[in-house]
Structure 1
């Protein structure tokens, strides 16, 4: 007999409750207000938007968190194709406002809004601690980032530098758009299956299973993204969809050749590129552990 009933699996696919959702919305609204109220930042060109599991609506009950991107759009970082120079594309004007200054300004805006004791600066983000009306919120100050093509067109994302001087590029809006599209093509089952996988990971940890730190919530969403739509569309129960998704991911992560083309949800990075902390073998081992945990 399987470890969880169909009714239990259905409950794990559901989004946060209305109370939790209200806290999430309050957090996003408060950050927007902090940025727009700051005398220095209100004179800058910025955009504040949600990203991560909250914005993608794949967060799970009791484990909801919120990530807010505060992006400076008055300048941009860029990557050029090998065949082009910055002069050819007219990218010669030096910036007079640095990323470090921007992150410092965002931190000060949050301190002005929430108080020094409720704002913690971390390597990658600035965290607003939880309260009775909001959940813990990670604010990521970024700059606009442009990945140029040979013809001079570009794809827009975001880029930031950690306090340990590591540069990170992301494409959060493409991630959101692609998730919405796949969710539509699977009768809203893509995000539900993602929540189910995430919830089961938390259940395994709570039950004392030795789950690798390399198996992140982001990774699980990407793995479901790479699962064919037919697995979400062709079966009538969540147990069957879950089993088939585990089996598909397991079978296709035995050898690197079978998953080397898998992408992140944005489809702008390979899922198993060298800078990621996880590997296809980590995923393969985890799927076997998950299968055993579910007593299939």
Structure 2
């Protein structure tokens, strides 16, 4: 028995983001307050840093199960880049233009941490592996605050003309491993695909995220399918699979993935590979298992409802 259209349409509905916006504004006030270290430090003052939402709340693909919000705090006064991959001539040009800064990502992170401690009551801020975690409070939800600096991906470097793709760069707490991502590109590409699919892409992302939740809750399957990976997975599906009828979309998307899933899939930012062995990549076999679980959910919907 297939999943009814009314159930799929419910899963596809947009959720409220008011608490996420409140959380974003609270963090913005904290880091722009008169006692903020960021306002006092000359390397990060003025408009040289920006604060913005990323992830499902920014992209409007959040579902009710999404409990926290990701907030990026990005310093643009300094940056890192892919200069190690440049040819010798471009590297020489690069080094003649830019010098190392005395103010580092670690300094920026510490200034953010101090500013948050100064603004919020004790116990509200926890230092995590990749982020600073703001606990849930009155009229706001929990947040992962990501201190980062600008990342520049140069295809070539000419000192008189800078041409690069902008992303973010930050480091893990324990291993100091560098993480590079492109949240603004992710947002832009998702909005573009949503427009090209007549506003059907983002509802479909929400639909499949809710389907995953149903699979885990009702079948107790050990799915390794984080929301970000699901969104990137669906980004690779052709636009003509996203239609107004949710049952047709479910069938078209799952059938296409069954026939075409492979290791060359890209993330929604179109800069990084979705599958691989890095900690920030999805394992192909986990995606295959997720797709098989979607098939079983569709084919055994009546039994799934009996277990509700």
Question: Taking structure 1 as the reference length, what is the TM-score of the superposition?
Answer: 0.91
2: CA distance, partners of 1:168 / 1:48? 18
Deviation of 1:151 after TM superposition, in Å, equals 4.3
Match of 1:232 in 2: 242
- Number of residue pairs matched by the alignment: 284
Distance 2:68 2:258 in 1: 28
Deviation at 1:91?
Answer: 4.4
Which structure 1 segments of 5+ residues have no match? 254-258
Does residue 1:119 correspond to 2:125, yes or no?
A: yes
C-alpha change, 1:120 and 1:208, in structure 2 (3 Å) is farther
> Where does 1:1-296 land on structure 2 (aligned, <5 Å)?
1-2=1-2, 4-17=3-16, 21-37=17-33, 38-42=35-39, 43=41, 44=44, 45-80=48-83, 81-84=85-88, 85-89=90-94, 90-152=96-158, 153-164=163-174, 165-213=176-224, 215-233=225-243, 236-253=244-261, 259-275=262-278, 276-295=280-299
Any unmatched runs of 5+ in structure 2?
Answer: 301-308
SS state at 1:54 partner: helix
Measure how far apart 1:76 and its partner are.
0.4
> Structure 2: how far apart are the matches of 1:211 and 1:290?
13
Following TM superposition, where does structure 1 have runs of at least 4 consecutive aligned residues deviating by more than 6 angstroms?
none
Q: Is the 8 A contact 1:204 1:211 kept in 2?
A: no
Identify the range of structure 1 (133-142 vs 72-81) with the bigger mean alpha-carbon deviation.
72-81
Once the two structures are TM-superposed, the CA of residue 148 in structure 1 deviates from its matched residue by: 1.1
Tell me the distance in 1 between the aligned counterparts of 2:264 and 2:219.
33
1:294 partner SS: helix
Distance in 2, matches of 1:180 and 1:39, equals: 34
How big is the shift at 1:277?
A: 4.4
CA RMSD, aligned part only? 1.7
